[in-house]
């Protein structure tokens, strides 16, 4: 794959069009069967052997995780298993990784991480408990996928094993949460984890159960029955949901003269300035229950736009974000999500996930707040997620925003904090005061509450914003990504933000080092007739 | 339990002074005997069998003949004599002194190689456990048991390596070798061919001829290992393996000869009417076992094969003798590959093709066997001939797996393949017929009708010698 020359990635798919997965739903149990078609990779140049995955496989998984929550709210247990004998999943395809650009690898791992966190989110917040039924060996990303599930069962056939062979075989790390989840989620002893991660073939059922790498095992003859019984037990223990879901229609942007647009989200690309202008349109219709209501549709559009910006617009370094329209309409849609119904609950958790995706953009985010803006309630979270926010100080106070209870914890960041909490690390009382405002906030008040970065007046406005953008875009993109990620994620560490942080800090460093990707690096040499040569000096 | 090691276990590895090995064998040896009684040959355990035992590596020492009861067989541990100043034959370390201890870097790979090889040894004993009940003669029954006890000894040889060189992991693996069972739904043996049933003697002969021959080539490749104890162990095992191959080759030849004789006797030229197995049916068994056996070499393009060769863990057949260049770097290997529904040739780096390099050595060897069978058919005045299927036919592993190739190696449609497969591989009816012929012949010299008598007996004894004495 030549540098950034691959065709644009689309995230639109549907179970009827899955190539690599089969989704089946029977009562309250859904089954996701991974059956990767070796000869249908995302791009030519590698074969997806041994149920290994590339982005196309993961896009289908992400789609299913999402659909299950809206299309099958009745599902209480999701069994993820392999469709081939003796193999569950061999993880990310190594040849694909070895031939990918660094930027693609990072985006790919980040997306994979988000999908896995989404699996945990479904388990924790929707009571859709994911169970990994490892019908064969699960190595690398295959085992990491299992770790994202609440419970892991491994077939005990004397052969099948779980393993994280990245260090001994590839000279890189399990990059999608494998290490963090071992210690923080599965509570594996660190020395056993150390042994496990350096033993390429991993542990078979006996040791895997003993040291908690899996939760249980069944022999081949008891396998189907054992997994079924476990799923049934989970369903029996869960609060049932007597609900009927609805289909999620495709979210596909139209190409416009200067970018792409959906019904409520548009993106204008300025390739020369290396910026994108993202505009979110406030609802024009009353809230309803279903895929078309703004709270779900527009946020799905936003989600898709963010992913496209990440994968297809690497050169874009800065995104200005605007919200336009009736702010009151946004609030009305927020209120409609307060009814405690399954639908409202799912939409709220979905919006929270979209906002976390926004937090993880490797692009500078500047919110632009001008008269007529719709940054209120849930949409104000976008302002809070931005690296900077510029609010025009107008004369008549028409430029205003509104913070609601939605900012009080409905949309936790990966750290578990609300964005308001994260915003005021030294003055938490300010956050409380903002939440108590219960009124429209104009630029002067916003300045006082330290709610925005700057409030230039009309005379300064154009220049201030232009210069801020131009200056930002001139800085080192690597340093900016690092700086932004550091500053965005203040507060405590959690399993979730460690997973992204460790990927950024360690894996991305290792991915760049000659020991991995140099001419004789381990990742480059994997599968090649020659072996890796290391520079053994420790760093 | 105290054991007089050197008497009980013939060896040339200083067992009596190796406390670590003794401790390991103290628990493993009783478990091995339990395994043997549990899933070894059914019946005949109390009988006296005229067996060959290896008691030393001196000339003649590997073949001491005499009556023994199978559970009393002296399974020994032998390595061939060390070669002075032996050098690593191939790979990145070619020319460096061989390793006497396992290099940490290759510990996992070596253990995996040894476990995979070791797993086949007890597996075949399990597969063949019922065959004694239907032996076509005492001569054949004795050969079966000889193969069985020697597979048991090969297991010992591999277990010795695991226990002597791989610490606790090695001991655990040695235990697991006795826990897996051929064809078991829950604990199958590692490789597919070793989970296939062996219900009749034609299968046994084909298995020992074709599948054990894979063993010969794997052992040959491991005899080129830079890990010297493995190399020496395999060299010694190769001597015994050669005997198994001759049991298989000779067995098939005798069935073929008999088919030709019976066809000649029959007014319609049909061996089946005379209670024999027709040549065409034998061909199906050969097809089946040849294909399963060449699968055992692994995929045509393999990262593991490249790694093992690069590391010096495995070499090519006769690496030291037949090749002058031992790194196999910057060379390519041409393979027919399926692209867009058609066969085209493609190049892969030679190291990645080492599985196929070994497979081709095997196929050449097998072609010589088929030639000898066809000579036998000619001697018997038959016009029929055996042919080897192409190595793309009926594959379950590798780049041709599950693709519709005919025995000539041509890509055909799946529909045509499905329509013709019963003419190429044993059908249920074929299997039922062969099984129906399996009635025991237990009087000395007596020979089942469907198989010709061997030319000569064992160790200078006549064919009608009482090779198995029922007690």
Q: Among residues of chain A, what percentage have pLDDT more than 70?
A: 99
Residues of chain B neighbouring A528 (CB-CB closer than 8 A): 306, 349, 352
Per-residue pLDDT reduced to its tens digit, A107-122:
999 999 999 999 999 9
CATH superfamily membership of A15-237: 2-enoyl-CoA Hydratase; Chain A, domain 1 (3.90.226.10)
Amino acid A508: pLDDT = 83
Per-residue pLDDT reduced to its tens digit, A427-485:
999 999 999 998 999 999 999 999 999 999 999 999 999 999 999 999 999 999 999 99
Query: What are the sequence ranges of the domains in chain B?
Result: 5-469
Per-residue pLDDT reduced to its tens digit, B320-330:
889 999 999 99
Q: Which of A156, A526, A529 comes nearest B349 by C-beta? A: A529
Chain A interface includes B271 (CB < 8 A): no
Residues of chain A neighbouring B103 (CB-CB closer than 8 A): none
Per-residue pLDDT reduced to its tens digit, B182-207:
999 888 999 988 999 999 999 999 99
**Alpha carbon of B417: minimum distance to chain A alpha carbons (Å):** 22
Chain A interface includes B434 (CB < 8 A): no
Mean pLDDT, to the nearest integer, of B159-181?
A: 93
Selection from A352-356, A498-502, B156-160 with the highest mean pLDDT: A352-356
Q: One fold for both A15-237 and A255-487?
A: yes
Mean pLDDT, to the nearest integer, of A500-524?
A: 87
- Check if A144 is active-site: yes
- The predicted model scores a pTM of 0.87
Residues 298-337 of B with CB under 8 A from A: 303, 306-307, 310-311, 328-329
Query: What are the sequence ranges of the domains in chain A?
Result: 15-237, 255-487
Fold topology of A255-487: 2-enoyl-CoA Hydratase; Chain A, domain 1 (3.90.226)
Quick one: pLDDT band at residue A41, thresholds 50, 70, 90?
very high
Quick one: pLDDT band at residue A242, thresholds 50, 70, 90?
confident
- DSSP class of A184: I
Amino acid A504: pLDDT = 76
Record: contact A201-B307, CB cut-off 8 A: no
**Alpha carbon of B9: minimum distance to chain A alpha carbons (Å):** 29
Record: contact B187-A200, CB cut-off 8 A: no
Chain A interface includes B162 (CB < 8 A): no
Record: contact A157-B352, CB cut-off 8 A: no
CATH of B5-469, one of 1.10.620.20, 1.10.287.470, 1.10.3720.10, 3.40.50.300: 1.10.620.20
Interface test with A, best of B90, B185, B186 (most A CBs within 10 A): B186
What span, in angstroms and rounded, lies between the C-alpha atoms of A208 and A146? 13
Record: contact B329-A529, CB cut-off 8 A: yes
């Amino acid at each position: 794959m030549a540098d950034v020359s691959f065709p644009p990635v689309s995230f639109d798919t549907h179970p009827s069009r899955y190539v690599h997965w089969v989704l089946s739903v029977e009562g309250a149990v859904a089954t996701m069967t991974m059956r990767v078609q070796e000869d249908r990779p995302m791009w030519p140049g590698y074969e997806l052997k041994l149920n290994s995955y590339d982005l196309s496989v993961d896009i289908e998984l992400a789609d299913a995780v999402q659909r299950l929550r809206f299309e099958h709210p009745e599902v209480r247990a999701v069994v993820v298993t392999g469709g081939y004998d003796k193999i569950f999943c061999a993880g990310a395809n190594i040849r694909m990784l070895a031939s990918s650009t660094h930027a693609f690898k990072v985006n790919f791992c980040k997306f994979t991480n988000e999908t896995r966190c989404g699996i945990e989110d479904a388990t924790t917040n929707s009571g859709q408990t994911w169970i990994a039924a490892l019908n064969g060996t699960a190595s690398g990303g295959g085992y990491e996928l299992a770790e994202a599930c609440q419970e892991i069962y491994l077939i005990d056939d004397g052969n099948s094993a779980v393993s994280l062979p990245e260090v001994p075989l590839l000279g890189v790390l399990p990059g999608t949460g494998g290490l963090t989840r071992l210690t923080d989620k599965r509570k594996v002893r660190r020395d056993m984890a150390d042994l496990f991660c350096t033993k390429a073939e991993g542990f078979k059922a006996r040791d895997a159960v003993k040291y908690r790498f899996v939760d249980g095992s069944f022999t081949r003859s008891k396998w189907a029955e054992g997994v079924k019984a476990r799923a049934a037990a989970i369903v029996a223990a869960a609060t049932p949901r007597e609900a009927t879901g609805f289909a999620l229609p495709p979210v596909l942007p139209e190409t416009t003269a200067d970018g792409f647009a959906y019904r409520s989200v548009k993106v204008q690309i300025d390739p020369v300035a290396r910026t994108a202008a993202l505009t979110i349109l406030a609802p024009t219709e009353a809230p309803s229950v279903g895929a078309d209501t703004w709270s779900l549709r527009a946020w799905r559009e936003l989600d898709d736009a963010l992913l496209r910006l990440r994968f297809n617009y690497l050169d874009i370094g800065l995104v200005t974000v605007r919200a336009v329209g009736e702010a009151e309409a946004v609030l009305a849609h927020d209120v409609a999500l307060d009814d405690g119904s399954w639908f409202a609950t799912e939409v709220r958790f979905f919006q929270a996930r979209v906002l976390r995706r926004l937090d993880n953009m490797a692009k500078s985010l500047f919110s632009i707040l001008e008269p007529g803006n719709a940054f209120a309630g849930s949409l104000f979270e976008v302002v809070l997620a931005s690296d900077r926010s510029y609010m025009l100080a107008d004369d008549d106070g028409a430029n205003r925003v509104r913070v609601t209870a939605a900012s009080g914890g409905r949309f936790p960041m990966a750290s578990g904090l609300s964005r308001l909490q994260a915003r005021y690390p030294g003055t938490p009382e300010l956050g409380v005061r903002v939440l108590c405002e219960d009124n429209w906030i104009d630029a002067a008040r916003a300045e006082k509450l330290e709610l925005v970065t700057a409030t230039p007046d009309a005379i300064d406005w154009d220049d201030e914003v232009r210069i801020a953008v131009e200056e930002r875009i001139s800085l080192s993109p690597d340093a900016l990504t690092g700086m932004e990620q550091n500053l965005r994620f203040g507060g405590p560490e959690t399993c979730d933000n460690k997973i992204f942080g460790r990927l950024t800090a360690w894996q991305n460093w290792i991915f760049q080092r000659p020991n991995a990707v140099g001419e004789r690096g381990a990742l480059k040499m994997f599968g090649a007739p020659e072996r890796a040569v290391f520079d053994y000096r420790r760093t | 339990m105290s054991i007089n090691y050197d008497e009980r276990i013939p060896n040339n590895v200083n067992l009596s002074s190796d406390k670590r090995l003794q401790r390991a064998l103290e628990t493993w040896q009783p478990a091995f005997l339990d395994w043997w009684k549990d899933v070894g040959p059914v019946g005949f355990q109390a009988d006296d069998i005229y067996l060959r035992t290896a008691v030393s590596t001196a000339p003649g020492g590997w073949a001491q003949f005499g009556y023994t009861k199978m559970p009393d067989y002296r399974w020994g541990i032998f390595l061939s004599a060390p070669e002075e100043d032996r050098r690593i034959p191939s790979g990145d370390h070619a020319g460096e002194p061989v390793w006497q201890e396992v290099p940490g870097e290759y510990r996992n790979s070596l253990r995996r190689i040894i476990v995979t090889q070791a797993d086949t040894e007890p597996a075949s004993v399990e597969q063949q456990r019922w065959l004694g009940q239907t032996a076509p003669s005492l001569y054949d029954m004795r050969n079966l048991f000889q193969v069985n006890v020697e597979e048991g000894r090969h297991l010992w040889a591999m277990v010795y390596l695991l226990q002597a060189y791989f610490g606790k992991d090695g001991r655990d693996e040695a235990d697991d070798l006795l826990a897996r069972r051929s064809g078991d739904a829950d604990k199958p043996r590692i490789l597919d061919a070793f989970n296939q049933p062996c219900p009749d003697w034609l299968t046994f002969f084909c298995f020992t001829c074709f599948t054990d021959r894979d063993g010969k080539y794997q052992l040959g490749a491991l005899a080129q290992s830079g890990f010297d104890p493995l190399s020496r162990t395999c060299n010694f095992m190769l001597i015994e393996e050669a005997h198994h191959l001759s049991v298989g080759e000779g067995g098939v030849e005798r069935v073929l000869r008999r088919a030709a004789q019976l066809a000649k006797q029959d007014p319609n030229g049909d061996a089946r009417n005379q209670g024999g197995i027709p040549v065409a049916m034998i061909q199906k068994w050969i097809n089946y076992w040849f294909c399963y056996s060449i699968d055992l070499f692994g995929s045509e393009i393999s990262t593991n094969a490249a790694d093992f060769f690069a590391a010096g863990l495995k070499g090519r057949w006769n690496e030291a003798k037949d090749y002058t260049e031992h790194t196999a770097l910057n060379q390519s290997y041409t393979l027919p590959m399926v692209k867009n529904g058609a066969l085209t040739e493609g190049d892969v780096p030679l190291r990645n093709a080492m599985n196929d390099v070994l497979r081709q050595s095997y196929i050449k060897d097998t072609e010589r066997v088929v030639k000898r069978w066809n000579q036998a058919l000619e001697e018997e005045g038959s016009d029929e001939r055996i042919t080897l299927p192409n190595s793309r036919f009926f594959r379950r592993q590798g780049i041709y797996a599950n693709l519709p190739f005919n025995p000539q190696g041509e890509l055909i449609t799946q529909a045509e393949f499905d329509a013709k497969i019963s003419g190429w591989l044993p059908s249920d009816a074929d299997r039922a017929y062969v099984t129906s012929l399996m009635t025991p012949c237990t009087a000395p010299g007596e020979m089942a009708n469907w198989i010709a008598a061997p030319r000569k007996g064992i160790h200078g004894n006549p064919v009608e010698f009482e090779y198995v004495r029922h007690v």
